[in-house]
């Protein structure tokens, strides 16, 4: 760090400390003016963020970390930027708005420094320094924003998965889960989890997996079906797969997928008939005499 | 004959069926001792069926899985049928993802259904009914 | 479930398990960055909480105990295996994992700890709780100073075993976690790093 840079840095640091209020006010105003805020964030929240970020910046500038690396290597500063960006991502702000929010701090900072010096050379150096400092923050903010949105999308798709896999009770000790759409790993996990829990809760003996709504069965989907069936069997229940349409039967045969250990039926009605026979077999005595004692 | 090391796991006898359970805190040595003790009891009592309740197991790793499979094989050699009852949903999912299927081990939803499979009913049941086998 | 393992000939292999959908890429990226930073943070007094990979940051909501704490356990006896399981279970609960994920992680920990105990003659297990984009996670690092694994490809193949168990130790742990890395050289012991991120 050369002397001129360090003096500029000191000056900036000083301005941050002494004019903290003013910078924060201006930054909040700029953000409000640019209408970069979504309705979910109050002015109060933005002000709080501003205070946090400014004090983190001041602390960072006081250290001897190079200014370009300040935002990424100072933990406090880094987290403040990340939280600020995530909050906007969650509140549904646009990526442009989120980046602008960070970058408009440049203007607020520079106008504060303007009060401390009239030397244009010094002002120029300060502008460069502020740029280098906050461009890193802009990049980090954008990166975080994207990750934050990814996370939201993922969470939503998981919630969608959960609501789209209802487990229904069709008969005493018989459950069914109608699958609609592609069966991938994530979906298989959700199906397994809700099906197995329902088996335990209902003391179900047979689970019917209806794949009428599954567009195609390839080796991966077959593998996922086998996993589900195996998990059901480990629980001590039986599994019937129904809704295998003719084209799907053809694909299964052509691909040489072995589903021979699994009981399959063409329709849900056939599967239910098979399931009732299965539950009747080991439970003849119960059905004849002591039905009342069995959990219904 | 040396007496098997006591494991503290009770093994109850109900007619020709032995009923026992695995504890979550089973360490390796106790598992081995338990296997010894159970096989001794199967032979000694002439048991035809063994019900192992595993509803307390919070995880089944490959070691416990192997113990269960070995127990099943040994019991079968001694003429007894083993039913493992009460596996938790999370454990079943994890086992499948782990790539373990407890090949050859019969399962039941809970101890009551396991006993039903062994023919313990309040009402007599017709002879020769089919039984439901575990995954192959 | 598909596995995309980089199969590297020789004694060193890094495998990454592909998780469903998007999170994998991000998670793997985080791991890379964390790795780069941890080597860098050794010299810098700047890094925040100790043991935290830099990807960690606090969720806006309060976290019990804070993110990124790490704890280390010895794996030198059968009792240690149980202790490790308890500790990992507690950590999964603290990180907010659902019951099935808890079971996956504890099972993977049990497999890896047993590997270190049986094959490595004892070792250690470290638990970290990193956070990424508000998603909490759990990272386990299992080390031993044993003979190392001469053929990792073979060790990751199901059914391969030189001790007790079913030979599902490494391969099984890989399937249960989102991230999986193993470093081993004959004579230099084995280090396995696994992580799983919370989807909820």
Q: For residue C94, what are the CA distances in angstroms to C50, C64, C97, C102, C138? A: 19, 7, 8, 10, 10
**Of C87, C83, C180, nearest in space to C128 by CA:** C87
The answer to whether residue B56 is domain-embedded is: yes
Best B96, B115, B121, B134 member to test A by mutation, with max A CBs in 10 Å, is B96
- How far is it, in rounded angstroms, from Cα A191 to Cα A209? 10
Out of A203, A233, A281, the one facing B135 most closely (by C-beta) is A233
pLDDT tier at C200, thresholds 50, 70, 90: low
Question: A42 by DSSP, 3-state: which?
Answer: coil
The reply to whether C43 touches chain A by the CB within 8 Å rule is no
DSSP E strand boundaries for C7-87: 70-75
Best B25, B32, B61, B102 member to test C by mutation, with max C CBs in 10 Å, is B61
Give per-residue pLDDT as tens, A197-236: 999 999 999 999 999 988 888 888 888 888 899 999 999 9
Domain ranges for chain C:
23-34+68-197
Say yes or no for a CB contact (<8 Å) between A203 and B122.
no
The answer to whether residue B80 is domain-embedded is: yes
Q: Taking CA atoms, what residue in B is nearest to A260?
A: B136
The reply to whether B62 touches chain C by the CB within 8 Å rule is yes
CATH of the domain at B44: 3.30.750.24
- Percent of chain A exceeding pLDDT 70 equals 91
Say yes or no for a CB contact (<8 Å) between C106 and B58.
yes
Residue A188's pLDDT is 84
Out of A192, A237, A290, the one facing B122 most closely (by C-beta) is A290
Task: With both helix axes pointing from N to C terminus, report the angle between C78-94 and B28-45 in degrees, rounded to the nearest 10.
Answer: 110
- Pick the more confident residue, A38 or C63: A38
Say yes or no for a CB contact (<8 Å) between B132 and A278.
yes
Does the pLDDT value for residue B83 go beyond 90?
A: yes
Domain C23-34+68-197: give its CATH architecture. 2-Layer Sandwich (3.30)
Does the pLDDT value for residue A261 go beyond 70?
A: yes
- Pick the more confident residue, A104 or C1: A104
Q: Taking CA atoms, what residue in B is nearest to C79?
A: B27
Mean pLDDT of chain B: 84
List chain B residues with CB under 8 Å of C82.
25, 27
Residue B122's pLDDT is 55
The whole model's pTM is what? 0.65
Residue C189's pLDDT is 86
DSSP E strand boundaries for A232-286: 238-242, 263-265
Handedness of CA A159, A162, A163, A165 (dihedral sign): positive
- Spatial neighbors of A10 by CB under 8 A, at least 6 apart, are none
Say yes or no for a CB contact (<8 Å) between A154 and C22.
yes
Asked whether B12 and B19 are in contact (CB, 8 A), the reply is yes
Backbone angles phi, psi at C94, to 5 degrees: -65, -35
Residue C164's pLDDT is 44
Residue A86's pLDDT is 84
Distance from CA of A257 to the nearest CA of B (A): 16
Give per-residue pLDDT as tens, C89-122: 999 999 999 999 999 999 999 999 988 998 888 8
Say yes or no for a CB contact (<8 Å) between B63 and C165.
yes
Best C80, C87, C90, C103 member to test B by mutation, with max B CBs in 10 Å, is C103
- How far is it, in rounded angstroms, from Cα A179 to Cα A235? 20
The yes/no answer to whether this complex scores an ipTM above 0.85 is no
Q: What is the CA radius of gyration of chain B?
A: 15
Q: Taking CA atoms, what residue in A is nearest to C200?
A: A155
Give per-residue pLDDT as tens, A89-104: 877 777 777 877 888 8
Question: C128 by DSSP, 3-state: which?
Answer: strand
Say yes or no for a CB contact (<8 Å) between A158 and C22.
no
Mean pLDDT of chain A: 82
Out of C2, C19, C60, the one facing A83 most closely (by C-beta) is C60
Residue A296's pLDDT is 31
Give per-residue pLDDT as tens, C138-181: 999 999 888 877 777 767 665 544 444 445 578 888 889 999 99
Say yes or no for a CB contact (<8 Å) between B59 and C106.
yes
- How far is it, in rounded angstroms, from Cα A112 to Cα A120? 14
Say yes or no for a CB contact (<8 Å) between A65 and C2.
no
**What is the count of structural domains for chain B?**
1
Question: C103 by DSSP, 3-state: which?
Answer: helix
Q: Which of A163-167, B37-41, C29-33, C83-87 has the lowest mean pLDDT?
A: C29-33
The reply to whether B93 touches chain A by the CB within 8 Å rule is yes
List chain C residues with CB under 8 Å of A224.
1
Q: For residue C152, what are the CA distances in angstroms to C107, C112, C149? A: 21, 14, 6
The answer to whether residue B125 is domain-embedded is: no
Does the pLDDT value for residue B106 go beyond 60?
A: yes
The answer to whether residue B54 is domain-embedded is: yes
Residue A224's pLDDT is 86
Q: Could you give all domains of chain A from N- to C-terminal order, each with its CATH number?
A: 3-158 (1.10.490), 168-293 (3.30.750.24)
pLDDT tier at C48, thresholds 50, 70, 90: very low
- Give me the mean pLDDT over the B70-82 stretch: 93
The answer to whether residue B68 is domain-embedded is: yes
Best A190, A236, A289, A291 member to test B by mutation, with max B CBs in 10 Å, is A236
Residue A36's pLDDT is 53
Which residue matches tokens 């704490």? Answer: C69
Say yes or no for a CB contact (<8 Å) between B123 and A289.
yes
- Pick the more confident residue, C62 or C67: C67
- Give me the mean pLDDT over the C185-193 stretch: 86
- Pick the more confident residue, B2 or B54: B54
- How far is it, in rounded angstroms, from Cα B92 to Cα B100? 9
Q: In residues, how long is chain C?
A: 200
The answer to whether residue B62 is domain-embedded is: yes
* Structural domain containing residue B99: 11-117
- Pick the more confident residue, A198 or A15: A198
Pairing of strands C179-184, C131-132: unpaired
Give per-residue pLDDT as tens, B110-135: 999 999 888 876 555 555 554 444 44
Task: Please return the burial class of A266, using the count of CB atoms within 10 Å of its CB with bins 0-12, 13-18 and 19+.
Answer: middle
The answer to whether residue B52 is domain-embedded is: yes
Q: Beta-carbon neighbour count of residue A255 at 10 Å?
A: 12
pLDDT tier at C196, thresholds 50, 70, 90: very high
Does the pLDDT value for residue A127 go beyond 80?
A: yes
Give the C window 97-126 contacts with A, CB below 8 Å: 100
List chain C residues with CB under 8 Å of B60.
107
The answer to whether residue B129 is domain-embedded is: no
């Amino acid at each position: 760090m050369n002397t001129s840079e360090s003096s500029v840095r000191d000056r900036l640091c000083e301005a941050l400390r002494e004019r903290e209020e003013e910078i924060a006010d201006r930054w909040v105003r700029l953000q409000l003016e640019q209408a970069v805020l979504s309705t979910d964030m109050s002015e109060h929240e933005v002000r709080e963020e501003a205070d946090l970020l400014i004090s983190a910046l001041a602390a960072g500038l006081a250290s001897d970390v190079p200014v370009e690396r300040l935002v990424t290597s100072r933990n406090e500063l880094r987290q403040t930027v990340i939280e600020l960006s995530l909050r906007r991502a969650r509140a549904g702000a646009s990526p442009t708005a989120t980046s602008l929010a960070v970058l408009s701090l440049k203007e607020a900072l520079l106008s504060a420094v303007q009060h401390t010096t009239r030397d244009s050379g010094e002002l120029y150096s300060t502008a460069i320094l502020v740029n280098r400092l906050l461009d890193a923050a802009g990049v980090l903010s954008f990166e975080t924003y994207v990750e934050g949105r990814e996370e939201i999308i993922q969470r939503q798709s998981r919630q969608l998965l959960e609501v789209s896999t209802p487990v229904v009770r069709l008969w005493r000790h018989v459950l069914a889960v109608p699958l609609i759409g592609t069966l991938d790993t994530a979906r298989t996990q959700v199906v397994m989890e809700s099906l197995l829990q329902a088996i335990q809760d209902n003391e179900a003996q047979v689970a019917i997996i209806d794949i009428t709504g599954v567009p195609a069965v390839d080796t991966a989907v077959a593998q996922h079906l086998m996993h589900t069936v195996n998990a059901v069997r480990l629980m001590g229940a039986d599994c019937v797969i129904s809704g295998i349409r003719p084209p799907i039967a053809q694909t299964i045969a052509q691909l040489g997928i072995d589903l021979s250990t699994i009981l399959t039926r063409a329709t849900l009605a056939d599967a239910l008939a098979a399931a009732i026979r299965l539950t009747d077999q080991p439970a003849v005595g119960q059905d004849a005499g002591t039905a009342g004692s069995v959990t219904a | 004959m040396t007496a098997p090391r006591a494991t503290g796991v009770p093994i109850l006898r109900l007619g020709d069926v032995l009923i026992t359970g695995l504890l979550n805190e089973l360490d390796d040595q106790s598992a081995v001792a338990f296997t010894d003790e159970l096989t001794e009891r199967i032979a000694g009592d002439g048991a035809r069926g063994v019900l192992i309740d595993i509803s307390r197991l919070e995880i089944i790793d490959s070691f416990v899985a192997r113990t269960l499979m070995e127990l099943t094989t040994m019991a079968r050699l001694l003429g007894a049928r083993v039913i493992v009852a009460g596996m938790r949903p999370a454990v079943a999912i994890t086992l499948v993802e782990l790539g373990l299927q407890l090949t050859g081990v019969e399962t039941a939803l809970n101890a009551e259904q396991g006993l039903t499979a062994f023919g313990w009913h309040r009402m007599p049941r017709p002879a020769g009914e089919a039984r439901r086998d575990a995954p192959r | 479930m598909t596995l995309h393992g980089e199969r590297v000939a020789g004694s060193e292999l890094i495998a990454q398990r592909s998780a469903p959908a998007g999170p994998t890429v991000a998670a793997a990226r985080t791991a890379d960055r964390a790795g780069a930073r941890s080597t860098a943070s050794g010299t810098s007094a700047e890094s925040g909480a100790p043991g935290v990979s830099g990807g960690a940051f606090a969720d806006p909501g309060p976290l019990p105990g804070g993110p990124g704490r790490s704890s280390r356990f010895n794996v030198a006896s059968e009792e240690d295996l149980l202790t490790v399981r308890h500790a990992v279970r507690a950590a999964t609960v603290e990180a907010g994992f659902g019951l099935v994920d808890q079971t996956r992680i504890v099972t993977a920990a049990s497999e890896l700890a047993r590997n270190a105990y049986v094959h490595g003659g004892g070792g250690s297990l470290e638990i970290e709780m990193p956070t990424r984009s508000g998603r909490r996670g759990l990272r386990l690092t299992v080390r031993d100073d044993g003979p190392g694994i001469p053929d990792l490809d073979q060790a990751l193949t199901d059914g391969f075993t030189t001790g007790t168990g079913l030979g599902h130790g490494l391969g099984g742990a890989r399937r249960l976690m989102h991230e999986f890395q193993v470093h081993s050289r004959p004579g230099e012991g084995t280090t396995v790093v696994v992580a799983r991120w919370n989807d909820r």
